[in-house]
C-alpha cells in the first residue's frame, strides 16, 4: 500500500512535471515562432537598409559618371568653339586688311558715277532744248519759203503789169499830144508804182532769203550741236556703263564686307557659346564634385549596412543553431532545402508564411507531411510557383496551388480561385 501510495505520488509529480514540460514546450514554441518572425523581419529590414544604401551609392556613382561624361562633352565643345573662334578671327583680320582699299575705290567710283549722271541729265536737257530750237527753225524756214514764194508771185505780177503798161504806151496814138501826155503821165505813175512795188518785193525777197540763209545756218549749227551732244551722250553712256561695271565689281567687295560682318557675328556667337560652354563646364565640375561628395557620404552608410548585414548573418546563424537545438538535430526547416530562381525568394516566403520554418520530420511538433498533388488548375494568367522553385516533395501540392501573377491582375484573378489556391 505504501508503495502504491508512493507510486501515485510519483505519478502526480510526473503529471505535474509533464504539464510543466508541456507548458515550457509551448512557451518555447511560441518563443521559437516569435524568434522566426523577428528573424524574418530583421532580415528583411536589414536587407532593405543594405539595398537602400547600395542604391544610394549606385545612384551617386551613376551621377558621378554622368557628370564626368557631361564634363568631357563640354570640354570637347569648348575645344570646337575655340577652333571656330580662331578661324573667325583669322577671317576677320584677312577681310579687314582688304577692306580699306575697297572702300576708297567704292567712294571714287560712286563720285564718278554721280558726276556722270549729272552730266547725262544736263545733256538730256540740252538735247531737248536743241530739238525744240530745231523744230522752231523748221517752222520759221517754212514760213520764209512761203513769204519768198508770195513775193516772187508779186514780182511776176509787177513784171506783167509793167509789160502791159509798156504795151499800152506803145499802142497809144501819136496825134493827141495832150492825151498822150496825160496817158504817159498815168503810165509813168503806174510804172513808178510798179517799180516801187517791184523794189519792195525784191527787198522783201532779199530779206526773206537772208533770213532763210540765217535760219539754215542756225539749223545747221543746231544739227551740229545736236550731233556733238549725241556723241557726248554716247561717250557718257559708255562711261556710265563702265562705272556700272566697276560698281558690279564693287558688289563683290560688298559681298566680302557682308561676309566680314557675318564672320564678326559668328565670332560673337562663338564667344557667347564659349562662355556658355565654360559655365556648363563649371556647373559640370560642381555637379561632379557634389556627386563625389555624395559618393563619399554614401560610403559610410554602405559600410555600416554591410557590417549590419554581417552582424545579422551571425545573429541568424546563432538563432538557427538555437532553433535546431530546440527542435532536435533531425528537424531542419524546409527553408534550408528550398532553391528558387533569382528574384522569386519573396514570392515563396509570402506564399508559405511561417510554415516555411516547419521541417519534414514527422517527429517534430509541426511538420510537412506531404499530400497528393491536386489536379485542379490555376486561373489563366497565373503561373504555379513550382515552376520557379526546387523544394522537397512534401511541398509539391502547396506550391502547385500557389500562383504568381502581375499586381494589376491580382484582384480580378482572385475571384476565380478554387478552394486551397492562393495568389502572390
pLDDT in tens, 93-142: 776 666 666 667 667 767 777 776 787 777 777 778 767 777 777 777 67
Asked if the model's pLDDT at residue 391 lies above 80, the reply is yes
The answer to whether 282 and 275 are in contact (CB under 8 A) is no
Q: pLDDT tens digits for 178-210?
A: 655 666 677 677 667 766 776 776 677 677 667
- Quote the pTM value: 0.29
CB 182 within 8 A of CB 169: no
Q: Give the per-residue pLDDT at 329.
A: 45
92 vs 55 pLDDT, higher one: 55
Q: Which of 374, 387, 379 is nearest to 410 (CA)?
A: 379
Q: Which three cell numbers stand for residue 9?
A: 505520488
Residue 23: count of CB within 10 angstroms of its CB? 10
pLDDT in tens, 57-96: 888 788 878 878 888 887 888 788 778 777 777 777 776 6
Percent of the chain residues topping a pLDDT of 70:
66
In this prediction, residue 99 carries a pLDDT of 64
End-to-end CA distance of the chain: 66
Q: Which residues pair with 390 in a beta bridge?
A: 339
Q: Residue 58: its pLDDT value, please?
A: 83
Distance CA 384, CA 82 (A): 64
Average pLDDT over residues 217-221: 72
Is the pLDDT score of 44 beyond 60? yes
Q: Is the pLDDT of residue 380 over 60?
A: yes
The answer to whether 160 and 198 are in contact (CB under 8 A) is: no
Phi and psi at residue 402, to the nearest 5°: -105, 115
- 50 Cα distance to chain centroid: 47
Region 299-327: mean pLDDT is 64
Stronger pLDDT, 69 or 318, i.e. the higher one: 69
Higher pLDDT, 174 or 231: 231
Domains in the chain: boundaries? 1-165, 260-321, 334-423
Residue 143 has pLDDT above 70, yes or no: yes
User: For residue 309, what pLDDT is reported?
Assistant: 63
pLDDT (0 to 100) of residue 102: 65
Q: Between 157 and 420, where is the model more confident?
A: 420
Whether the pLDDT of residue 319 is over 80: the answer is: no
Contact (CB, 8 A) for 372 and 63 = no
Looking at every residue in the chain, the average pLDDT score rounds to: 75
Residue 49, Cβ density class (10 Å: 0-12 exposed, 13-18 middle, ≥19 buried): middle
Averaged pLDDT for residues 150-173: 66
Q: What 3-state class would DSSP assign to 341?
A: coil
When pLDDT is averaged across residues 39-51 and rounded to a whole number, the result is: 81
**Residue 400: is its pLDDT beyond 50?**
yes
The pLDDT of 240-255, averaged and rounded, is 63
Q: At what angle do helices 2-97 and 99-171 cross, to 10 degrees?
A: 40
The per-residue pLDDT for range 334-363, each reduced to its tens digit, is 888 899 888 888 888 888 888 888 888 888
Among 61-70, 113-122, 157-166, 322-331, the minimum mean pLDDT is found in 322-331
Segment 294-310 mean pLDDT:
68
Tell me: pLDDT of 42 over 60: yes
> What 8-state DSSP symbol labels residue 175?
S
Amino acid at each position: 500500500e505504501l508503495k502504491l501510495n508512493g507510486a501515485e505520488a510519483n505519478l502526480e509529480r510526473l503529471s505535474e512535471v509533464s504539464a510543466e514540460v508541456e507548458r515550457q514546450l509551448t512557451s518555447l514554441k511560441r518563443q521559437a515562432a516569435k524568434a522566426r518572425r523577428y528573424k524574418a523581419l530583421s532580415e528583411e529590414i536589414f536587407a532593405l537598409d543594405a539595398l537602400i544604401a547600395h542604391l544610394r551609392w549606385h545612384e551617386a556613382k551613376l551621377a558621378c559618371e554622368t557628370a564626368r561624361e557631361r564634363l568631357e562633352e563640354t570640354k570637347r565643345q569648348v575645344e570646337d568653339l575655340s577652333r571656330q573662334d580662331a578661324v573667325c578671327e583669322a577671317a576677320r583680320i584677312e577681310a579687314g586688311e582688304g577692306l580699306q582699299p575697297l572702300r576708297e575705290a567704292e567712294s571714287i567710283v560712286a563720285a564718278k558715277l554721280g558726276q556722270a549722271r549729272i552730266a547725262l541729265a544736263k545733256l538730256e536737257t540740252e538735247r531737248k532744248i536743241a530739238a525744240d530750237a530745231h523744230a522752231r527753225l523748221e517752222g520759221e524756214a517754212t514760213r520764209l519759203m512761203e513769204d519768198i514764194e508770195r513775193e516772187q508771185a508779186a514780182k511776176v505780177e509787177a513784171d506783167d503789169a509793167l509789160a502791159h503798161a509798156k504795151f499800152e504806151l506803145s499802142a497809144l496814138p501819136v496825134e493827141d499830144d495832150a492825151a498822150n501826155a496825160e496817158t504817159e503821165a498815168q503810165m509813168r505813175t503806174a510804172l513808178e508804182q510798179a517799180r516801187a512795188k517791184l523794189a519792195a518785193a525784191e527787198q522783201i525777197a532779199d530779206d526773206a532769203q537772208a533770213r532763210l540763209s540765217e535760219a539754215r545756218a542756225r539749223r545747221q549749227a543746231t544739227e551740229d550741236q545736236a550731233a556733238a551732244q549725241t556723241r557726248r551722250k554716247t561717250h557718257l553712256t559708255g562711261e556710265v556703263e563702265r562705272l556700272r561695271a566697276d560698281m558690279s565689281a564693287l558688289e563683290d567687295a560688298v559681298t566680302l564686307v557682308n561676309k566680314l560682318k557675318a564672320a564678326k557675328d559668328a565670332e560673337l556667337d562663338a564667344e557667347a557659346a564659349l562662355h556658355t560652354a565654360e559655365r556648363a563646364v563649371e556647373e559640370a565640375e560642381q555637379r561632379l564634385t557634389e556627386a563625389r561628395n555624395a559618393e563619399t557620404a554614401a560610403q559610410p552608410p554602405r559600410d555600416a549596412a554591410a557590417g549590419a548585414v554581417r552582424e545579422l548573418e551571425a545573429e541568424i546563424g546563432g538563432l538557427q543553431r538555437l532553433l535546431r537545438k530546440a527542435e532536435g538535430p533531425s528537424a531542419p526547416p524546409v527553408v534550408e532545402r528550398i532553391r528558387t530562381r533569382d528574384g522569386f525568394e519573396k514570392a515563396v516566403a509570402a506564399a508559405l508564411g511561417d510554415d516555411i520554418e516547419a521541417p519534414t520530420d514527422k517527429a517534430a511538433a509541426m511538420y510537412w507531411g506531404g499530400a497528393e498533388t491536386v489536379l485542379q488548375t490555376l486561373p489563366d494568367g497565373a503561373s504555379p510557383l513550382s515552376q520557379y522553385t526546387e523544394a522537397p516533395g512534401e511541398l509539391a501540392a502547396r506550391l502547385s496551388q500557389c500562383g504568381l501573377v502581375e499586381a494589376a491582375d491580382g484582384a480580378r484573378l482572385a475571384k476565380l480561385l478554387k478552394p486551397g489556391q492562393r495568389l502572390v
